[in-house]
Amino acid sequence: MTINWKGVMPAVTTKFTENDNLDLNMFAVNIHAQLEAGVDGIILGGTLGEASTLSHKEKRTLVREAVKIVKGKVPVIINIAEPSTQAAIHVALHAKEDGASGLMMLPPMRYKADDRETVQFFKSVANSTDLPIMIYNNPVDYGIEVTLDMFDELLKECPNIQAVKESTRDISNITRIKNRFGDRLAILSGVDTLALESLVMGAEGWVAGLVCAFPAETVAIYALVKAGKINEALEIYRWFLPLLELDINTKLVQNIKLAEVATGIGTENVREPRLPLIGKERENVLRIIKNGIKTRPTLPDYKQYLG
């Protein structure tokens, strides 16, 4: 299997009913909005997808439903965030059975593995499947960095490790990766507030968060940057930044779900222990979203640059 690791790939939220069941109807509404905007993939079960609260059965349901909705138009990718190697291999096996096109993988959860253990974890899972893999490198939030030397070992032995979700917050790391690996490792920015900068520096794509509420604006920025129309992209990006900053926050799920409500493609329902925002915190987020909606830019015909 192959994936063209490029473009905007939404890390979609998981939709819940008021009774705390999966809301597959609203899930479909949002996925269709993403497809209409021109995204290049759908990523399920990430941090934004409240993966730690989902049962294995629910994750499988989301994969199957997403595969039905996209009808082969874009790849469906499921995140692996497991505490043991065997559990991760189990998820990879079921992902293939359920029709997923690829995997996004975090290092082992809970236990802080050292470099050798982390590399072996990725190798074991990669060698158990033929699905393409994107490594999620986020030492800021998860405490383990996948270094260039670690990638070097992985890329030599695991041809299906093909991409990195680059979330180190160090823009210069993109150049280091390009200098070391060339086109062997595709780079997708994993930080909304560094996405444009990352694309300019050579990242092939953007694993996005606020795209869940603003799909067209997100894809427009990507398309315009890749077309060399940096000033047009900057104009949208500067409008977008206050909203994008809602993603780099411990309440990113609640924040982005409020934005989805405002744009009509989501609900506010979260799964406990998360709770909906209240008080001044909620007022502040709603103020940012309201101002974003009020000043929402008219987009150019960005789809002409998508290919």
pLDDT of residue 2: 82
Helix (H, G, I), strand (E, B) or coil at 188: strand
Dihedrals φ, ψ of 76, to 5°? -105, 125
Tokens at residue 26, please?
């609203």
CATH of the domain at 262: 3.20.20.70
With respect to residue 81, please indicate whether it lies within any of the assigned structural domains. Answer: yes
Query: If you ran DSSP here, which 8-state letter would residue 21 be given?
Result: S
Three-state secondary structure call for residue 273: coil
pLDDT in tens, 236-293: 999 999 999 999 999 999 999 999 999 999 999 999 999 999 999 999 999 999 999 9
Identify the pLDDT of residue 262: 98
Decide if 2 is inside a domain: no
User: What would the two tokens of residue 90 be?
Assistant: 């189990």
DSSP state letters, 76-95: EEEEE--SSHHHHHHHHHHH
231 lies in some domain:
yes
Q: pLDDT value at position 210?
A: 98
* Position 1 in a domain: no
Residues of the chain where predicted confidence (pLDDT) is lower than 70: 1
- Kindly tell me the burial class for residue 87, based on how many C-beta atoms sit within 10 Å of its own C-beta (0-12, 13-18, 19 or more): middle
> 79, 90, 87: which is closest to 167 by C-alpha?
79
Position 146 in a domain: yes
- Residue 272 within a domain: yes
Helix 279-294 × helix 252-262 angle, to 10°: 40
Tell the residue number behind the tokens 């899930």, with chain if given.
27
Q: For residue 100, which phi and psi values (nearest 5 degrees)?
A: -60, 150
Cα-Cα-Cα-Cα torsion 5, 39, 30, 3, nearest 10 degrees, comes to: -30
Helix (H, G, I), strand (E, B) or coil at 43: strand
pLDDT score recorded for residue 1 = 60
pTM recorded for the entire structure: 0.97
Check residue 307 and give its pLDDT. Answer: 79
Whether residue 184 lies inside any domain: the answer is yes
Alpha-carbon span 100 to 85, nearest angstrom: 19
The domain total for the chain is 1
Q: What is the pLDDT of residues 42-58, one digit of tens each?
A: 999 999 999 999 999 99
189 located within any domain: yes
Q: Is the Cβ–Cβ distance between 210 and 237 less than 8 Å?
A: no
Containing structural domain, residue 95: 7-305
